[in-house]
Amino acid sequence: MAVLKVSAQSRPTAVAGAIAGSVREASRAEVQAIGAEAVNQAVKAVAVARGYLSSDGIDVICIPTFAQVIINEQERTAIKLIVEPR
């Protein structure tokens, strides 16, 4: 399962579709964002994905965690949102 990387310019509905597809296929999605605006888009996407999945009878939860990532040889802290069925 790939980590869905969200930026400040990501469209929440597009990310929500990817989250819903991943939950349907793999019973789990991991969304990663760095920065306040990217985290905002990621959280909106999770909220929209809950609506998409509820029509299929799937109720999901979101578990937020920190992740250390390397970007341009520098360590950065990202927010990782794990989305899985309740």
Which strands sit side by side in the sheet containing 60-71, from one edge to the other?
A: 3-6, 29-33, 74-85, 60-71
Backbone angles phi, psi at 57, to 5 degrees: 80, 20
Domain ranges of the chain: 3-85
Q: What is the mean pLDDT of each run of 10 residues along the chain (86 residues)?
A: 91 97 95 96 97 94 96 94 95
Predicted model pTM? 0.92
**CATH 3.30.110.20 fits domain 3-85:** yes
> What DSSP designation does 86 have?
-
- pLDDT of amino acid 3: 92
Look at residue 2 in the predicted model and tell me its pLDDT: 79
